[in-house]
Structure 1
Amino acid sequence: MASNLVLGSTGLVGSNILATLLTDSSISAVHTISRRAPKSTGPTLHATIEADTTQWAAKLAGIKPTPSTAFSGLGTTRAQAGGIANQWKIDHDLNVELARAAKEAGVRSFVFISSTGSDGLLANWLPYSKMKKGVEQTVKELDFETAIIVRPAIIMGDREVPHQGGPFLIGATRALGRWFGLGVQDRLGQEADVIARAAVHAAKIAAEGKAPSKYWILESSEIVRLGRTEWKD
């Protein structure tokens, strides 16, 4: 975990991963590649700003020394992308390209923020699940020393551009948590900062050689455990 790369560092979960890494004194360097500057700053941040995403794989290959761990929270929405085809280019194609570039560069661990249901009964039919499932399969096939797949349910937090229906779902999930207990909320959705901390915590466990498996999947309960219950600042 001495050197890390965060892709999607300006998004909701990615920005929280970046902020978490930048506050960790044991980490010597945090690299980002993004179309605009990340909001978080710090002495260990090395930000590459590149508007042309076709150049990102080459930028990744040029990072020296090679990051030991890469995190990808890269993604967009159908509305922001201008349709499913354009969303697929980012959520699937760009993630796959960058995962392959990371492997070729010598990155040891790859952490991908996926979604619940990516291996469910409808995963081959729902476009969003198909995108996530495709990336997951590629990451597994690339055979990193450790691959960590994080599958949150509803991602709760303040987005710069709210998802269609997102504020309602988040409000309803939090209301259910107040009425019936935090355990109910935890099964339906997780806060973005908790998801980010779970991703970082899991990566640290992997760096210590203590991951429970080479291909480690974090579902909702494990996200909460690693990102909140067992998290230590």
Structure 2
Amino acid sequence: MASNSAAVFGSTGLVGSHILSNLLATGPFKPVTTIARRAPKAESPSLNSIVDADSNKWPATLLGLSPAPHVTFSAIGTTRAAAGGIENQWKIDHDLNVEVARAAKQAGVKTFVFISSVGTDGLLASTSPYSKMKKGVETTIKELEFDHGIIVRPGLILGEREQGRFLEGLATTLVRGLGFIGLKDSVAQDAEVIARAAIRATQLADEGKAPSKFWVLGQSDIIKLGRTEWQGEEKK
């Protein structure tokens, strides 16, 4: 296992692409491997891009990496409309994430990071199909007992997607307006900030500063690690 290596799933999506670009910019993460249906836009000598249109093969591809990555990030996700129904969305948002997590554990990955969503605790966790998917993945990661399992739970994710989503775009416009009255951070987070929070959490875990083996980052944690403390690191 390479001590500073990383693997990223969902690297062509909104949060995943920011995770990838920040990993490559941070420096110590070498190599950074992506496994996706298409190559990411990012370029770097440290990037190892594996393209496979059959997502069912991704867990086996992860198992075949040598040396195994030290940390694996999963930002895999889709929408019901893009997937063609709730059953197909479940196969991606839940089943594929679970299989990737299991493969990571088998491969010897030390830290696994999953980009989940707000609402996986409480009423939504038992009533919303989307929350059930995310909660199921979270539970699997906890049961696998990685050295560190890190769950990132953002609210509405802000950023420019390659394929726009009408309702999400409308919500984003409304949320950005909350910034003028200081409420935006409690409702939504920028994809860049979410990505940086995920990366910063892995660094803290490696430094022995994680609060527990299974660490859940809420929205305030995301702002702290991905914006406040990240800026502090840059100034240093």
Instruction: Tell me if both proteins adopt one fold, taking TM over 0.5 as the criterion.
Output: yes
Post-superposition Cα deviations, 1:45-82, rounded to whole Å, max 9, x if no partner, equal 00100001111111101111110000000000111101
Indicate the SS of the match to 1:148: strand
Distance in 2 (alpha carbons) for counterparts of 1:103 and 1:191: 29
**Map of 1:1-233 to 2, 5 A cutoff?**
2-178=4-180, 180-181=181-182, 184-231=183-230, 232-233=233-234
Post-superposition Cα deviations, 1:29-60, rounded to whole Å, max 9, x if no partner, equal 10010000111111100010000111111110
CA root-mean-square deviation:
0.9
Distance in 2 (alpha carbons) for counterparts of 1:222 and 1:157: 19
Which segments of 5 or more consecutive residues in structure 1 lack a partner in the other structure? none
Structure with the higher helix share, 1 or 2: 2
Aligned length: 230
Indicate the SS of the match to 1:47: strand
Which segments of 5 or more consecutive residues in structure 2 lack a partner in the other structure? none
One-letter amino acid of the counterpart of residue 37, structure 2: R
One-letter amino acid of the counterpart of residue 62, structure 2: L
TM-score with structure 2 setting the length = 0.96
Distance in 1 (alpha carbons) for counterparts of 2:166 and 2:114: 23
One-letter amino acid of the counterpart of residue 22, structure 1: L
TM-score with structure 1 setting the length = 0.97
Distance in 2 (alpha carbons) for counterparts of 1:91 and 1:60: 18
Distance in 1 (alpha carbons) for counterparts of 2:96 and 2:228: 33
Post-superposition Cα deviations, 1:82-140, rounded to whole Å, max 9, x if no partner, equal 11000000000000000000000000000000000011212111010000000000000
Q: Which runs of 4+ in 1 moved over 2 A?
A: none
Distance in 2 (alpha carbons) for counterparts of 1:84 and 1:164: 19
